[in-house]
Amino acid sequence: MSLDTIVIGAGHNGLVAAAYLARAGQKVLVLERRDVLGGAAATEALFPGYRVNTGAPDAGLFLPRIVDELKLQARGLELIESPAAVCALQPGGRALTLWRDVARSRDEIAAWSPRDAERYPDFVDYMGRMASALRGTSTLTPPDPHDGSARELLGWLRPALRLKGMGRRDMMEFLRILPMSAAELLGDWFENDALKGALGTSAVLGSMQGPQASGTAFRLLYHYQGAENGGFRSSAFVRGGMGRLAEALAAAAREHGAEIRSGASVARVLVEGDTAVGVRLETGDELAARRVVSCVDPRRTLHGLLGAPALGPELNRRVGNIRYRGSTAVLHLALDGLPSVPGVTGVEPITAHIVVSPSLVDLERAYDDAKYGRFSARPCLDMVIHTLLDPALAPPGRHTMSATVRYAPYDLRDAGWDEQRGRLADTILGLLDEYVPEVRPRILHQRLLTPLDWEREYGLTEGGTYHGQMDLDQLLFMRPVPGWGRYRTPVAGLYLCGSGTHPGGGVTGAPGFNAAREVLRD
C-alpha cells in the first residue's frame, strides 16, 4: 500500500484537508495522537454521563461552503442556533441581552442607553459591511508580495474590488479601522459600558492584548464574519457537541477512502534529502507517504516533529519568534440543575453566550494582570450552558457549564500552573458568586483546563488556541512566519494546514480547505 498523504492531527482543519484530498482521489491516512477526534474542537466525557465541548464552544465561523461540499448535514451535522447572541451579566444583578434580532437588541439596549440603542442597528449593518470585506479572503492563498503568480493576484483582486464596491467612504473606513483598537471603534459608536463590555469580549480572543490595543478592532471583525444574521458573534452550536463536526468530517473523509487512526502519536516527520517521505510514530513504526500535511501548530510541527536542524537558522529564528502566548483557560462544570441567573427572566437569554465583562475598563484591567505574568484577579468570563439547547449532553435534569476565561497567561511569573491552578478556579468561582451565586452550590464536577493543559494534553504550543496570535504582523503572508504563508515549508512534501496558517484560528475549516487546494496544485 502506498500512501499519497499522511495528515498529522485530526483537528477540524486536518479532517477538512483529509476529506478534500481524499475526495480528489488521494490515498490519505490521518494520524491522531489522542483517542478523540477534533483536537481542540472536540466533545469529551469529562465527567461520567456528561458530554462536554472541551475547547471551542461553537461552530459559527465554520465555512458553509465546506458543509455543502462535503455534505456534512447528511453525515449528522446539525447546527442549533439560539435566538440570543450574548447575555452580559452586570453588577447589581442586572443583565443586558443582545439578540440575533436587531430590533429586539435595540429595545433591550434602550434600557441602558437610548442613544446607543438608536445607533445599534446602524452598527450591526456597518460591521456586516466591514466583515464582508474580510470574508472573501479566507479561502484564498495569501499572495506572495514578491513573486505571486498573476492568477493569484487576480484572486485577490476580487476582494479588493469588493472593497471598491463598498464605496469610497466604507473603504477608507475599512482601512482606518483595521489597525484600530476595539475600544476606539466601540467608543466611536457607543457610550454605555455594559454594551461596550459585552461587544468587546470577542475582540480580545486570539491574542494576549487588551481592548485598547491596536489590532483588536480587526479581531472584532474577524469574529463578526460568522454572524451574518444579526448577532455580533456566533451562537451556532452543534447538536451532540462539537465532536459531531469532527465526526461528520471524518465520515466524509472515510467515504472517499481515507483512513483515520486515533491513538497514533507521530514522533517525527521523516525526511530524505530535502523531501518529506513519511512519519515515524512514537511506537517506532514508520509510515511512508508522498507527502505529509500537518494540522499541528507551526512551531510544534517544524521544531518538534521535523526538528530545527532540518531548517536554516534564519527560518528557525522566525519560527522561534511566533507569538503564541496562550492566555485562555476553560472551566468546565457539571451542575445538578440549572442555576437561576440574576437579571434574566426565562432561559431564552442564556441559551447562547453568557458573559461577565461589565466594561472595557474591566477587560483592560483583566489584561493588565496578564502583562505582568499573573492571571486576572477579575477575569472576563464567556460561558455557555450547552445543555439548554441540547439536553442530551447531560443526564436528565443536569447541566454543563463551560466558561472561557481570560486572561490566564501561559507564562506565569511567580509559580507554575500546576501550583496556581486551584487559585484560578477559586478566583473564577468567586467571581461567579457575585454574578450567578447559584452556580457554586450546584457543582457536581469541575475541571479547569489551563494553557499548560492545552499544551500538554492537546499539543498546543504555549497553550495558544489560535496556533499563533492573530496579530496584524502574523496574518496573510506573515502567517505562520514571514515568507512561508502559502501552506508549504522548506521541506518539499511537508505542508501546514492548521490554524497557524491563513486565515487563522477559530473553527473555520478554511486553513485545511486552502492547504488541500495547495497540495493538489503541487
Partner 1 sequence: MAHRYDAIVIGAGHNGLVHAAYLARAGLDVLVLERRHLVGGATVTEELFPGFKYSVYSYVVSLMRPDIIRELDLPRHGLTILPLESTLTPLPDGDCLYRDADRYRTWRDIARFSVRDAEAYEEYGRTLFFMARAVKYLLGIAPPDPTRVRPKDLSGMLGLARHMLGLRKDELHALVKLMTMSAADFLDEWFETDVLKATLSASGIIGTFLGPRSPGTAYVLLHHYMGEIDGHFRAWGFAKGGTGALANAVAGAARELGVEVRTDSPVAHVVVRNGRATGVALENGDVLEAKIVSSSLDPRQTFLRLLDASVLPDELVTAVGKFKFRGSSGKVNLALDAAPDLACLPGHGPHLRGAISISPSVDYLERAYDDAKYGDFSRAPYMDVIIPSMIDPEMAPPGKHVMSCFVQYAPYELREGTWEEKREAFGDTVIDTLSRYMPNLKEIILHRQVVTPWDIEQTVGLSQGNIFQGELSLSQLFFLRPAPGHAEYRTPVRGYYQCGSGTHPGGGIMGAPGRLSATAVLRDLRRPGGRKGQT
Partner 2 sequence: MLLPTPFHSRTSALCRSARWRNWSGYASVVAYEATHEYEYYAVRNGSALFDVSPLRKYEIGGPDAALLVSRIITRDPTRCRVGQVLYTTWCDEAGKMIDDGTVQRLEPDLFRITSADANLRWFQDCGLGMDATTRDVTVDLAALALQGPTSREILKSLVTGVDLDALRFFHLADGTVGQIPVTVSRTGYTGDLGYELWVAPTHAEALWDALMEAGRGYGIAPAGLDALDIARIEAALILKEVDYVSTTTALIESRKSSPFEAGLGWTVQPGGRAGFVGARALRAEAESPSRWALAGIEVDWPAIEKLFNAVNLPPLVAGAASRAAVPLYGRGRQIGYATSSTFSPILKRYVALATIERDFATPGSRIDFELTVEFARHKVPARVVDTPFFDPERKRA
Q: Identify which of 354, 345, 428, 341 has the alpha carbon closest to the alpha carbon of residue 386.
A: 354
> Residues 191, 419, 473, 522: which binds partner 1 (CB under 8 A)?
473
Nearer to partner 2, 160 or 308 (CB): 308
Nearer to partner 2, 40 or 305 (CB): 305
Q: Which does 309 bind (CB under 5 to 8 A by kind): partner 2, partner 1, none?
A: partner 2
Least CB distance to partner 1 at residue 429 (A):
27
Q: Which does 142 bind (CB under 5 to 8 A by kind): partner 2, partner 1, none?
A: none
| Residue 302 DSSP class | I
Stretch that binds partner 2, among 113-121, 233-241, 254-262, 304-312 (CB under 8 A): 304-312
Segment holding 459, helix H or strand E = none
> Contact 495/514 with Cβ under 8 angstroms?
no
Beta-carbon contacts of residue 160 (< 8 Å; ≥ 6 apart): none
Residue 316 found at the interface with partner 2 (CB under 8 A): yes
User: Is residue 297 classed as helix, strand or coil in its secondary structure?
Assistant: coil
> Residues 1, 92, 146, 272: which binds partner 1 (CB under 8 A)?
146
Task: Report the DSSP beta bridge partners of residue 278.
Answer: 270, 288
Whole-number Å distance between alpha carbons of 313 and 294: 21
Pairing of strands 79-81, 266-272: unpaired
Stretch that binds partner 1, among 16-24, 135-143, 166-174, 304-312 (CB under 8 A): 166-174
> Contact 43/244 with Cβ under 8 angstroms?
yes
Nearer to partner 2, 145 or 307 (CB): 307
Q: Which does 303 bind (CB under 5 to 8 A by kind): partner 2, partner 1, none?
A: partner 2
> Residues 22, 63, 96, 213: which binds partner 1 (CB under 8 A)?
213
Whole-number Å distance between alpha carbons of 455 and 299: 12
Least CB distance to partner 1 at residue 377 (A):
14
| Residue 338 DSSP class | P
Nearer to partner 1, 189 or 437 (CB): 189
* Residue matched to cell numbers 449532553: 393
> Residues 36, 308, 429, 492: which binds partner 2 (CB under 8 A)?
308
Residue 308 found at the interface with partner 1 (CB under 8 A): no
Residue 204 found at the interface with partner 1 (CB under 8 A): no
> Residues 65, 71, 176, 423: which binds partner 1 (CB under 8 A)?
176
Least CB distance to partner 2 at residue 312 (A):
5
Q: Identify which of 479, 444, 376 has the alpha carbon closest to the alpha carbon of residue 143.
A: 479
Least CB distance to partner 1 at residue 188 (A):
6
Residue 212 found at the interface with partner 1 (CB under 8 A): yes
Whole-number Å distance between alpha carbons of 254 and 248: 10
Cis check for the bond before 20: say yes or no (omega within 30 of 0).
no
Q: Identify which of 141, 187, 137, 175 has the alpha carbon closest to the alpha carbon of residue 158.
A: 137
Binding-residue pattern over the window 337 to 376 for partner 1, x denoting contact by CB under 8 A: ------------------------x--x---x--xx----
Segment holding 53, helix H or strand E = strand 52-53
- E-only strand ranges, 168-250: 236-238
- Angle (CA) 459-265-273 rounded to 5° is 100
Compute how many other C-beta atoms are within 10 angstroms of the C-beta atom of residue 443. 15
Residue 312 found at the interface with partner 2 (CB under 8 A): yes
Least CB distance to partner 2 at residue 511 (A):
25
Which grid coordinates belong to 416? 507554575
Beta-carbon contacts of residue 255 (< 8 Å; ≥ 6 apart): none
Q: Which does 316 bind (CB under 5 to 8 A by kind): partner 2, partner 1, none?
A: partner 2
DSSP conformation letters of 400-428:
EEEEEEE---SS-SSS-HHHHHHHHHHHH
> Residues 303, 353, 406, 488: which binds partner 2 (CB under 8 A)?
303
Nearer to partner 1, 174 or 513 (CB): 174
Distance of CA 132 to the CA centre of its chain: 19
Nearer to partner 1, 111 or 175 (CB): 175
Binding-residue pattern over the window 318 to 347 for partner 2, x denoting contact by CB under 8 A: --x---------------------------
Which residues in the 243-282 window bind partner 2 by CB under 8 A? 273
Nearer to partner 2, 274 or 286 (CB): 274
Helix H segments across 166-312?
168-177, 182-189, 193-200, 216-224, 243-255, 298-299
Residue 317 found at the interface with partner 2 (CB under 8 A): yes
Residue 307 found at the interface with partner 2 (CB under 8 A): yes
3-state DSSP percent of the chain in helix, strand and coil, to 5: 40, 20, 40
> What residue ranges bind partner 2 (CB under 8 A)?
273, 303, 307-309, 312-314, 316-317, 320
> What residue ranges bind partner 1 (CB under 8 A)?
145-146, 168-169, 171-173, 175-180, 184, 188, 209, 212-215, 317, 321, 323, 361, 364, 368, 371-372, 471-473, 478, 482-483
